[in-house]
Amino acid sequence: MRAFAAVPGRVADWDRLSAGGPMFATTEWLDAMRGRVPGAAYTFALREAGETRLALYGTVLDREATGEIFDLPYILAGDPRVFPLSEASRAARATWRPPPAESWYPNLVVMLPGYECHALGPLAADPGALSELVGAIVAWAKEQELRAVAFLYTPPGAAALRQALPGHGFTRVPLSYSCELPLPGAGFDDYLAALPRKQRTETRRELRVLAAAGVRVRAVPVTDVPEDVVTLKCAHSAKYNGGPADRAKVRARLRGLCALRDPLLFRAERDGTLVGYGLFARYGDVWYCVSTGMDYARAESRNAYFATVFYEPVRLAPEAGVRRVHYGQATWRAKMSRGCEAVEMPGWVRAEDPALARVVADSAGTVLAF
């Protein structure tokens, strides 16, 4: 007989459960992302004979997280610019008058802090067990007087979980795309050949411009974060978060990322000065792009971004035995133009308050651009 448990943090046998999951479920990643989703983290587990057989990871948010794409009022009724919403959907949302943001809290977001939702454990593809666990999570959330429960960013590989959610009152809401690059052939020439002619020409032009500017890209294994990388990441955070970055916090997060498996730093340098970087971690035969940054004061930095994040990793991937590169969400058009596949990552939301449920129903009509 199976028993449900809501365990603060991670269950003791988390490493065993996460072994079959993505990098985002690893202990190293969760340690690096500690605090990224603010609130109380839980493992929701089904146990049998004293062993965890199925688990989902989630966080109870008790306050607004303005501008974050796990913040329910923002992603369901706001206008997240990183989402590929159609212009019609953006215009429709501008006319809505949703309940105040504070009325959504506390709520439960079921999601790994890599913006993906995966079931873990031996029963991860079992429809009956998944339905049992989802039902238990809903009942627990009611006991805790949570205003809403959301399973965010469910990938195609979570098909069994997707199928279990509607039967427990969850509504599907289109949210975003995640991008991965399958690496064709045996080298960079094969990659170029697979691109549309226009993009192939543009890629060659970008590389010529970088070479003419004296920018060179090199790949460096890292165990700790260099200070020039911290500087570029602080500038990135300031640009996109609207204020100065906390350098100590940026350094700590980057150090956590450098503790992932086989971290590799692609550095674009001009005369020894860093103008852009891409930081990658390996998991199986996949490289995950986990951090990027560029020197916005330098004109050549834009092309340096593509060189460090796409072109040089693609060049070195075959020798490293890497078959795919995972880029995640945002800037999906630029990623697709450089060979990526985009897969839809919907969310599933259940709200207890009728006023909130109306917002969820409206959000279900969201149309994604493509």
> In the chain, what are the domain boundaries?
2-177+344-363, 184-322
Q: Is 2-177+344-363 a CATH 3.40.630.30 domain?
A: yes
Instruction: Please provide the average confidence, as pLDDT, over all residues in the chain.
Output: 92
- Split at pLDDT 50, 70, 90, the class of 244 is confident
Q: Which residue has the higher pLDDT, 104 or 243?
A: 104
The pLDDT tens digits of the residues spanning 25-65 come to 999 999 999 988 999 999 999 999 889 999 999 999 999 88
pLDDT exceeds cutoff 90 at 351: yes
pLDDT at 269: 94
For residues 82, 111, 16, 41, the Cα torsion angle rounded to the nearest 10 degrees is: 120
Q: Are strands 324-328 and 286-294 parallel, antiparallel or unpaired?
A: parallel
pLDDT exceeds cutoff 80 at 134: yes
| Beta-carbon contacts of residue 80 (< 8 Å; ≥ 6 apart) | 67, 69, 74
- C-alpha 171 chain-centroid distance: 21
Q: What angle in degrees, to the nearest 10, is found between the helix axes of 247-258 and 227-241?
A: 120
Count of Cβ atoms closer than 10 Å to residue 13 Cβ: 16
Q: Tell me the C-alpha distance between 161 and 172, whole Å.
A: 12
* CATH C-level class of 184-322: alpha beta
pLDDT at 333: 87
Picking from 31, 64, 44, the residue whose alpha carbon sits closest to that of residue 3 is: 44
pLDDT at 242: 65
Residues 298-313 as b or e (16 or more Cβ within 10 Å = b): bebbbbbbbbbbbbbb
Q: What is the mean pLDDT of residues 310-338?
A: 91
pTM of the model: 0.92
Report the 3 state secondary structure along the chain: CEEEEEEECCCCCHHHHHCCCCHHHCHHHHHHCCCCCCCEEEEEEEEECCEEEEEEEEEEECCCCCCCCCCHHHHHHCCCCCCCECHHHHHHHHCCCCCCHHHHCCEEEECECCCECCCECCCCCCHHHHHHHHHHHHHHHHHCCCCEEEECCCCHHHHHHHHHCHHHCCEEEEEEEEEEEECCCCCHHHHHHHCCHHHHHHHHHHHHHHHHCCEEEEEEECCCCCHHHHHHHHHHHHHHHCCCCCHHHHHHHHHHHHCCCCCEEEEEEECCEEEEEEEEEEECCEEEEEEEEECCCCCCHHHHHHHHHHHHHHHHHHHHCCCEEEEECCCHHHHHHCCCEEEEEEEEEEECCHHHHHHHHHHCCCCECC
pLDDT exceeds cutoff 80 at 146: yes
Percent of the chain with pLDDT over 90: 79
pLDDT at 152: 97
pLDDT at 164: 96
The pLDDT tens digits of the residues spanning 66-75 come to 889 999 999 9
Q: Are strands 286-294 and 264-270 parallel, antiparallel or unpaired?
A: unpaired
Topology agreement, domain 2-177+344-363 and domain 184-322: yes
pLDDT exceeds cutoff 70 at 354: yes
